[in-house]
Every structure is written in C-alpha cells, then in structure tokens.
Amino acid sequence: MSYLGRVKRLVESLRGDGLNGALLRSPANIFYFTGYRGAGYFLVPVDGIPTLYVSPLNFELAEESVPGDIQVIKLEQGSDIHRVFELIPENLKTRIGFDAMEAEDYLRISGQLAGSMMPISQHIWTLRMVKDESEIEKIRRACEISSKCMELASELLGEGLTEYEVKSEILREMLSLGGDGPAFDPIVASGPNSSKPHGAYKNRMIERGDVVVIDLGVIYEGYCSDITRTFYLGSGSNEVSRVHQAVLEAKRRAEELIRIGVKVSDIYHAAHEVLALVGYADYFLHALGHGIGIEIHEPPRLFRDSKEILTEGMMITVEPGVYIPKRFGVRIEDTILVRRDGIEKLTSAPYELSLG
C-alpha cells in the first residue's frame, strides 16, 4: 500500500469520528504515513493537503523522503507545537485528533483550540497492526539478518569472553549484513544475569557451566525483528535441560494455536498451562509476546487478559521464559507472521541448548 493510501484510510477513520483532521507527533506514525524517518509534526486534514512540518535540520531529508502528494513545510529553528498550531487552518482546530500529547504541550496550545482534541492512537494501531507486503518484506529481511547474527553468537560463545565482547560482535555483524542498526540494546546475559529478563548492567565474564540468554533484533529500512535463544556452556545439567524443554514445549503449543480469529489471550494461556503443569508458571514473568513492526513493541500484546483477535498480516513474537532468581533463566523467541493458512516463522536459528 502506498503512503497516500495509508493516509486515506486514516482520513476515513477520522471522518467516521466527526473529526476535521489529526496532528501526529510520534516518529513511528509519521514514518508509517509519509516514509520520513525523523522528528516533526504531520497534519492530516479530512479535506485538504497532508502537511509535514519539520525543522530546517530535517527539511532536505523530509523533501527527499515523502511522496509528492504530501506538502513539506520548513519551520523556523526552535519552533514548538505552539508555532505549529498557529500554522494550522482554523477550521481544523474545532475538532482535531492527536496521537501523542504531553500535558505541558496541551496547556501551551489549549488557548488556540476552537473546540476539542481527541486521542486517535487506536485508529492508527488498527492500521499498523496489519502489515502490507512491503512491510512484510522489510521485516523478513530484518529477520534474516538477526538469524545470522544469532548463529554467529552461538559460534562465538565460550568461557573467557565477556558479555560485552559477544555483544560487540553481534552489533558488528548487524551492520556488515546491511542492517540499519539494533532494534534494541542486545541482551547477552550469562550465569545469574540470565535470571533477569533484560539482563544486568554489568559486564560479566562468561564461565563454564553458565546459561547464556541472547536476545537481539535488527532494524532494516525502518522495520524491526526479534529473536532469542538460550545456550548452556557445559553438559549434564538435568535442571537446565528440563526448563529449556518446558519453555520450548510452551512455545510450540502456543504456535499451534496461532491462526486467524483466535484471541491472543488464549495463546498466552496455552503456553502458561504447559509451564504450570511442570511447576514453572510462577517463574514466567512477562507476556508471551508482542506485535512488532516499525517499533519493537507494538500491539497486539500477548497478555493473559488481552482482547485482540489475530488477523491475517499481523506480525508477532512468541517468547515464553522461565527465570529462577539468582540462578538462571531460559527464553526462546521467534518473529512470526500470521498467514491465512497458518504461520510463517521469519526468524531461524537452532534451538539446541548445549554448546558442549
């Protein structure tokens, strides 16, 4: 779908709510509707020309990025939302939508409003949750790069390396393979650090007998991937093996349920039940997964009480985990596309636990 096609679909939603237009500030939303990756303000009138307002620093980039159907306006250096509202046509100020607004900014512009403002993030997420083919191809490439980075990490792992040394090689590989950069700060969590879902802010030396959780993602042309694998530097730990097998089985059971029309909460509960049956449910500390796209965490959220229903074209992660405090943790994750006839797993790397 073209950027203008996305804008037209947003306009239909705005019109249905009786809004005259919307002002978008989220860089992710601006990128989704315009192709421009940077800070600014994007005005979407129900009737009129979509307009992107940017600082002089970003004007040339914006002009090169957006399609010709979108007008680009250069703001004066130091302009804020108050100045943008001065430029907005008066008829739009009677009933205008917004995606992100800090209380301080709202107070700045409240005197300029001729009517009311309404949050419209849900309208935008309804569009963004379902990926079109151009988005899918970018995420697929991001997943290919991240999968190769994970394979490199598994080859590098060994006692005597630090977590940061492994992380630096992952980052180097991302860039060498054509990624824009990391989708988030890669996690290399070894030994007791692995029991913390996001690792620890210290550079630990990896030792023999450690469990090592590696979680990484790549941005490719503005779209993210996400993959996690768990490794064990040793042999003979029945407990680590049992936990790893339970997490892998929870993931497999969840993926069996992924299809159009299923509530994401049902997928969460299926995975949770697998872990409960073997006594690990209390150590499952987070959601089962999340949507992924321009941002690393997007709807739908795979929580126990989520209301979202899976639709063809949704891109999600499935990442059950078990974290035994001060000892070790295990997490396994893939990025998955919901297809009409099932799922397409876009990340790939071996699930084997032991590195011997």
pLDDT score of 117: 87
pLDDT score of 114: 77
pLDDT score of 356: 61
For the chain, residues classed under CATH 3.90.230.10 are 133-345
For the chain, residues classed under CATH 3.40.350.10 are 3-127
pLDDT score of 103: 85
- Please give the CATH architecture assigned to the domain spanning 3-127: 3-Layer(aba) Sandwich (3.40)
What is the separation, in whole angstroms, between the first and last Cα of the chain? 48
pLDDT in tens, the chain (356 residues): 699 999 999 999 999 999 999 999 999 999 999 999 999 999 999 999 999 999 999 999 999 999 989 999 999 998 888 899 889 988 888 899 999 888 888 888 887 787 788 999 999 999 999 999 999 999 999 999 999 999 999 999 999 999 999 999 999 999 999 999 999 999 999 999 999 999 988 899 999 999 999 999 999 999 999 999 999 998 777 999 999 999 999 999 999 999 999 999 999 999 999 999 999 999 999 999 999 999 999 999 999 999 999 999 999 999 999 999 999 999 999 999 999 888 999 999 999 988 66
Burial label, 122 (beta-carbon count in 10 A; 0-12, 13-18, 19+): exposed
Task: Let me know: does 139 contact 293? Beta carbons within 8 Å.
Answer: yes
pLDDT score of 109: 84
Q: Which long-range contacts (CB under 8 A, 24 or more apart) does 193-196 make?
A: 193/163, 194/230, 194/323, 194/328, 194/329, 194/330, 195/323, 195/324, 195/325, 195/326, 195/327, 195/328, 195/329, 196/323, 196/329
Instruction: Give the span between the Cα atoms of 91 and 114, in whole angstroms.
Output: 8
Parallel, antiparallel or unpaired: strands 71-74 and 51-54 = parallel
Pick the CATH number of 133-345 from 3.20.20.70, 3.90.230.10, 3.30.2130.10, 3.30.1330.10: 3.90.230.10
pLDDT score of 247: 98
Instruction: Give the span between the Cα atoms of 34 and 18, in whole angstroms.
Output: 23
pLDDT score of 255: 97
Task: Let me know: does 98 contact 118? Beta carbons within 8 Å.
Answer: yes
Q: For residues 300, 302, 308 and 314, what is the CA-based torsion angle, rounded to 10 degrees? A: 40
pLDDT score of 162: 97
Task: Let me know: does 52 contact 42? Beta carbons within 8 Å.
Answer: yes
pTM: 0.94
Parallel, antiparallel or unpaired: strands 41-45 and 21-24 = antiparallel
